[in-house]
């Protein structure tokens, strides 16, 4: 499916904004040095006239004006990456140069995409502005509004990961949308831009082992053989992807099977972990590791504000023998995840100090061994608070999966409590994974 670009421009803040360097924390610089592409789909309102959407529906001019206003609050997004003169450290130069805003149109119908939509490079290339580089001189925020012939709209976003984590990204979209729909109260939440609470301590003190998640140590990457003899030590850029849905009743049943007082994230992630190990036909004595991110805003002492704009997430992981995962109940995997995700201030401070003394080029940003998963949770985030005046999105999803073993857990549309699971696996494993995923769910309710 092709789109035609109608207009591409840089949108600057509508008012003067502070100039100068914005310091980036070690957690910022440990993030992926690139963009995070996401796509939102909006249906045409039901109260259309003569088959046409109401006047002003996703007006490009209104979206552009609201973006300019939002960039006054979120002015780092209008800057560019730079390098400190004294220390050579990457920083944001708050220059006010602007964010990229693209208007496009497509001859396709929105419903053509809904059936079996899956993140892919093709989806990213169609709905997210093209970018050659994420380095100095490149915009830190890229946006594309695509109008379908049916009247529906897609909003594609690409935000540089040095600038934001998931919660920061959704807070920005929520503010932009509130400005666009004329809701000043919802748009009044000022982001907290000060990253200095995440500075390393004068004498770095590392109390935890961070080598699995951030490299260092012996830098090992395991080589594992499946029962079919397939070597899985290297991550593959070739993947199959899918978005699978878990109903609210199935989520409740998974939590009960995992031990009752288990979070939705731990229950669903444990289910995905076990199904992936089985679908990959991993040897029982192989070690599998599940990596994830923990939002540290409320766990630091003192806590960061919810509106903190930056990276406040820490990588962590849990591991288990494949045979143990598959021969035990869901509770074993959930308990391993609880141990990995229950960290607080001491863990975060230890990690910041670890990154302070570690060479930047040692931080792993690539793929995973074929035994492992990386599960990113958007659960509980304001992901569907993207109401630009015409209701919440009909679908929100990552536009791209990076490599095999990458998984997103997301809220489903509405408030019913269901979960959407976006997963990328080896193409030869995907169909078996889906069979196992739904067979297990069918036994719950």
Q: Active-site positions?
A: 161, 387
Token pair 């580089």 is at which residue?
Answer: 133
Residues 6 or more apart in contact with residue 176 via CB below 8 angstroms: 66, 67, 70, 388
Q: What is the DSSP letter of 61?
A: H
Closest CA to 242 of 413, 86, 119: 119
Rg (CA), the chain: 22
Residues 6 or more apart in contact with residue 7 via CB below 8 angstroms: 60, 102, 103
Token pair 């630091």 is at which residue?
Answer: 300
In DSSP terms, which residues pair with 386 in a beta bridge?
A: none
DSSP letter string, 296-353: -TTTSSSPPPTTB-S--EEEEEEEEEHHHHHHS-HHHHHHHHHHHH---HHHHHHHHH
Q: Which two tokens stand for residue 146?
A: 């695509």
d(CA 284, CA 223): 14
Buried b / exposed e along 238-265 (16+ C-beta atoms within 10 A): ebbbbbbebbeebbebbbebbbeebbbb
Q: Which two tokens stand for residue 298?
A: 């409320």
Closest CA to 165 of 325, 30, 75, 318: 30
Pair 423, 391: CB distance under 8 Å = no
d(CA 374, CA 408): 8
In DSSP terms, which residues pair with 96 in a beta bridge?
A: none
| Helix extents (H) in 181-302 | 211-214, 248-258, 264-279
């Amino acid at each position: 499916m092709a789109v035609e670009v109608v207009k591409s421009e840089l949108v600057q803040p509508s008012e003067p904004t502070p100039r100068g360097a914005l310091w980036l924390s070690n957690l910022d610089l440990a993030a992926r040095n690139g963009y995070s592409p996401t796509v939102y789909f909006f249906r045409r309102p039901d109260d259309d006239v003569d088959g046409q959407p109401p006047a002003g529906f996703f007006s490009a001019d209104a979206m552009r004006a609201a973006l300019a206003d939002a960039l006054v609050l979120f002015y780092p997004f209008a800057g560019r990456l730079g390098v400190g003169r004294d220390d050579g450290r990457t920083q944001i130069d708050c220059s006010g140069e602007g964010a990229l805003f693209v208007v496009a149109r497509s001859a396709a119908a929105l419903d053509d995409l809904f059936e079996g939509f899956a993140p892919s490079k093709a989806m990213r290339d169609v709905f997210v502005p093209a970018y050659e580089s994420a380095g100095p001189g490149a915009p830190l925020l890229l946006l594309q509004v695509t109008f379908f012939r049916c009247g529906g709209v897609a909003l594609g976003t690409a935000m540089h990961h040095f600038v934001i984590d998931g919660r920061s990204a959704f807070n920005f979209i929520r503010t932009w949308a509130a400005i666009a729909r004329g809701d000043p109260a919802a748009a009044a939440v000022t982001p907290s831009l000060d990253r200095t609470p995440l500075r390393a301590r004068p004498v770095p003190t590392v109390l935890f082992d961070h080598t699995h998640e951030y490299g260092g140590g012996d830098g090992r990457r395991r080589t594992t053989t499946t029962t079919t003899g397939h070597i899985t030590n290297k991550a593959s850029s070739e993947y199959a992807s899918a978005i699978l849905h878990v109903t609210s009743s199935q989520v409740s049943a998974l939590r009960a099977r995992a031990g009752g007082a288990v979070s939705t994230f731990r229950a669903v992630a444990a289910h995905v972990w076990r199904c992936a190990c089985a679908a990959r036909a991993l040897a029982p004595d192989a070690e599998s590791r599940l990596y994830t991110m923990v939002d540290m805003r409320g766990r630091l002492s003192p806590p960061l504000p919810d509106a903190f704009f930056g990276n406040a997430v820490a990588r962590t992981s849990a591991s288990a023998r494949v045979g143990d995962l598959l021969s035990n109940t869901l509770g074993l995997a959930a308990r391993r995840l609880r141990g990995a995700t229950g960290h607080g201030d001491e863990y975060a401070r230890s990690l910041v100090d670890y990154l302070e003394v570690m060479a930047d080029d040692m931080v792993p940003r690539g793929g995973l061994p074929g035994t492992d998963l990386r599960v990113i949770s958007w659960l509980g985030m304001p992901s569907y608070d993207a109401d630009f005046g015409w209701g919440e999105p009909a679908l929100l999803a990552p536009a791209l999966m990076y490599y095999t073993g990458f998984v997103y857990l997301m809220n489903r549309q509405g408030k019913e409590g269901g979960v959407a699971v976006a997963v990328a696996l080896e193409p030869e494993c995907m169909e078996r994974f889906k069979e196992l995923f739904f067979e297990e769910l069918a036994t719950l309710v």
